């Protein structure tokens, strides 16, 4: 059963202007580290990387219907598998908060970017009583 859907758009240009200090305050440590490496390669790819991740976190807060209350941006990481499929990993108080509100619920995320915007959509899917989604 679908428990929530959220979508968000973020300006890539705005993210290109973020300094390292702001990045370390707003992003998971693994994301901040990756953004630092991208800075040396290309400001545009760094902006795309940060914008998609920020959009995913905002889309999650919208899907939950709570805004960012009870969550920390630094405790939410966007990770990708070997094929590039994104997923959200929640840690600490943010993971506890999510589990309390949405037990047995999976988070699905889709990311895209086309300059000047990055978009993310998040869907919360609760397992049915027979274990299916």
Q: Could you read off the pLDDT of 52-86 as tens digits, one per residue?
A: 999 999 999 999 999 899 899 999 999 999 999 99
Q: Report DSSP letters for the chain, one per residue.
A: -EEEEEEEEEEHHHHHT--HHHHHHHS-HHHHHHHHHHHHH-HHHHHHHHHHHHHHHHHHHHHHTSTTTT--GGGEEEEE-TT--EEEEE-HHHHHHHHHHSTTEEEEEEEEEETTEEEEEEEEEEPPTTS--
Residue 115 included in any domain: yes
Q: What are the tokens at 104? A: 């047995």
48 marked ligand binding residue: no
Residue 133 included in any domain: no
Residue 15 included in any domain: yes
pLDDT for the residue 125: 98
Q: Could you read off the pLDDT of 13-42 as tens digits, one per residue?
A: 999 888 888 999 999 999 999 988 886 556
pLDDT for the residue 19: 84
Compute the average pLDDT of residues 103-132.
Answer: 92
Residue 131 included in any domain: no
Q: What are the tokens at 21? A: 């200090």
Residue 43 included in any domain: yes
The domain total for the chain is 1
d(CA 37, CA 42): 9
Residue 87 included in any domain: yes
CATH number at residue 111: 3.90.470.20
pLDDT for the residue 61: 97
Q: Provide the domain limits for residue 9.
A: 2-126
pLDDT for the residue 98: 97
Instruction: Grade residue 96 by pLDDT with cuts at 50, 70 and 90.
Output: very high
pLDDT for the residue 59: 98
Residue 74 included in any domain: yes
Q: Average pLDDT over the chain, rounded to whole?
A: 92
20 marked ligand binding residue: no
Roughly what angle, to the nearest 10 degrees, separates helices 43-64 and 29-41?
A: 150
Beta bridge partners of residue 124, listed in sequence order = 4, 107
| CA angle centred on 48, ends 111 and 59, rounded to 5° | 40
CA 41 to chain CA mean position, Å: 23
């Amino acid at each position: 059963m679908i428990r929530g859907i959220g979508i968000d758009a973020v300006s890539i240009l705005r993210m290109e202007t973020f300094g390292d200090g702001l990045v370390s305050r707003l992003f998971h440590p693994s994301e901040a580290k990756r953004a630092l490496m991208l800075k040396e390669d290309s400001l545009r790819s760094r902006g795309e990387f940060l914008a998609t991740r920020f959009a995913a976190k905002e889309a999650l807060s919208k899907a939950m219907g709570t805004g960012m209350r009870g969550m920390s941006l630094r405790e939410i990481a966007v990770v990708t598998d070997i094929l590039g499929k994104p997923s959200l990993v929640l840690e600490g108080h943010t993971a506890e908060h999510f589990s309390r509100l949405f037990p047995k619920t999976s988070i699905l995320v889709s990311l895209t970017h086309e300059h000047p915007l990055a978009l993310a959509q998040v869907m919360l899917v609760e397992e049915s009583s027979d274990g299916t989604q």
